[in-house]
Chains A and B, each alone.
Chain A
Amino acid sequence: MAVPVGNALFGDNYLSHAKGWKSWLFTLDHKRIGVMYLVSILASFLLGGVFALLIRMELWTPQRTIMDAQTYNQMFTLHGAAMIFLFIIPGIPAALGNFVLPLMLGAKDVAFPRLNLLSYYLWVVGALLALVSIITGAVDTGWTFYTPYSTTTNTSVISMTLGAFILGFSSIFTGINFIVSIHKLRPPSMTWFKMPLFLWGLYGTAIIQILATPVLGITLLLLIAERALGVGIFDPALGGDPVLFQHFFWFYSHPAVYIMILPAMGVISELVSTFSHRHIFGYRFIAMSSIAIAIISFLVWGHHMFVSGQSNLASLIFSILTFLVAIPSAVKVFNWVATMYKGEVELATPMLYALAFLFLFGIGGLTGLFLGALATDVHLTDTYFVVAHFHYTMFGGTAIAFFGGLFYWWPKITGRLYRETWSRVAAFLIFIGFNTTFLAQFIMGAQGMPRRYYNYLPEFAPYHRVSTIGAFLLAIGFVMAAGVLLHSLYAGAPAPANPWGAATLEWQTTSPPPHDNFKTQPSPGDPYDVDRWVFDRSAGGYVLAASAAGGGNA
Chain B
Amino acid sequence: MHSAESHVAHHFPHAKAQVEAGKLGMWIFLATEILLFGGLFCAYAVYRANHPEIFVYAHHFLNKILGGINTVVLICSSFTMAWAVRAAQLSQQDKLVRLLAVTIFCGFVFLGIKYVEYEHKWKEGLLWGKRYKPVHQELTKPKDVPPPKPLPWVNPEEQSTLPPPAVPPQGLSPEVKGFSQEGVVPQNVQLFFSVYFLMTGLHGLHVVAGMVVLFWVLLRARRGQFSSAYFTPVDLAGLYWHLVDLIWIYLFPLLYLIH
Contact = CB atoms under 8 A, between A and B. Distances in A.
B28 A179 contact: yes
A233 B195 contact: yes
Interface stretch (B39-47, B96-104, B219-227): B39-47
A233 B28 contact: no
B10 A236 contact: no
A214 B38 contact: yes
A230 interface: yes
B188 interface: yes
B11 A185 contact: yes
A354 to B, nearest CB: 31
Given A111-B21, A111-B25, A218-B37, A236 B169 contact: yes
A238 B190 contact: yes
Interface string B26-41: 0011011101111110
A525 interface: no
A232 B191 contact: yes
Interface string A211-241: 1011101110110011001111101111111
B119 interface: no
B165 interface: no
Interface stretch (B69-77, B124-132, B141-149): B124-132
A495 interface: no
Contacts of A184: 12, 17, 20-21, 24
B173 interface: yes
Contacts of A58: none
A248 interface: yes
Interface residues of A, number: 45
Contact of B191 (A109, A111, A238): A238
Contacts of A240: 129, 171, 191, 194
Contact of A238 (B11, B35, B130): B130
Contacts of A210: 28, 31-32
A110 B131 CA distance: 47
B125 to A, nearest CB: 14
A213 B32 contact: yes
Given A210-B31, A211-B35, A217-B36, A230 B129 contact: yes
B161 interface: no
A244 B188 contact: no
Contacts of A229: 128-129, 131
Interface in A98-126: 102, 107-113, 115
B32 A172 contact: yes
A108 B13 CA distance: 10
B37 A233 contact: no
Interface of B, helix, strand, loop or mixed by DSSP: helix
B39 A219 contact: yes
A180 B28 contact: yes
A239 B169 contact: no
B33 A214 contact: yes
Interface in B162-188: 169-171, 173, 187-188
A462 B142 CA distance: 68
Contacts of A215: 35-36, 38-39
Contact of B28 (A102, A108, A176): A176
B187 A239 contact: yes
B115 interface: no
B25 A233 contact: no
A69 to B, nearest CB: 29
A214 B38 CA distance: 9
A179 B40 CA distance: 26
Interface in A228-264: 229-233, 235-241, 244, 248
A221 B194 CA distance: 13
Contact of B35 (A214, A235, A236): A214
Contacts of A179: 24, 28
Contacts of B1: none
B216 interface: no
A230 B130 contact: yes
A183 interface: yes
A543 to B, nearest CB: 27
B51 interface: yes
A230 B128 CA distance: 8
A241 B46 contact: yes
A232 B47 CA distance: 12
B198 interface: yes
A175 B29 CA distance: 10
Interface string A382-412: 0000000000000000000000000000000
A169 B173 CA distance: 37
A177 B26 CA distance: 11
B31 A239 contact: no
Nearest to B191: A239
Contacts of A248: 39, 42
B65 interface: no
Contact of A232 (B11, B36, B128, B169): B128
A179 B32 CA distance: 13
A226 B128 CA distance: 10
B154 interface: no
Contacts of B29: 172, 176
B197 interface: yes
B29 to A, nearest CB: 6
B43 A244 contact: yes
Nearest to B38: A215
B27 to A, nearest CB: 10
Contacts of A225: 198
Contacts of A239: 51, 54, 171, 173, 187-188, 190-191
Interface string A45-67: 00000000000000000000000
Contacts of B28: 175-176, 179-180, 210
B197 A231 contact: yes
Contact of A218 (B36, B51, B194, B197): B36
A229 B194 CA distance: 10
Nearest to B130: A230
A344 B20 CA distance: 44
Interface in A435-493: none
A183 B24 contact: yes
Interface in B100-137: 128-131
Contact of A180 (B24, B47, B198): B24
Contacts of B190: 232, 238-239
A232 B51 contact: no
A152 to B, nearest CB: 13
A225 to B, nearest CB: 7
A179 B36 CA distance: 19
A184 B12 CA distance: 9
Interface in A158-176: 172, 175-176
Q: Which residue, of B42, B46, B191, B194, has the highest number of chain A Cβ atoms within 10 A?
A: B194
Contact of A113 (B9, B128, B173, B191): B9
Given A185-B21, A230-B129, A238-B191, 7 more contacts: A113-B11, A176-B25, A176-B32, A180-B21, A218-B38, A233-B129, A239-B171
17 contacts: A108-B10, A172-B32, A176-B29, A179-B28, A183-B24, A184-B17, A184-B20, A215-B38, A218-B38, A218-B40, A231-B197, A231-B198, A232-B190, A239-B173, A239-B191, A241-B171, A244-B43
Interface of A: 102, 107-113, 115, 172, 175-177, 179-180, 183-185, 210-211, 213-215, 217-219, 221-222, 225-226, 229-233, 235-241, 244, 248, 516
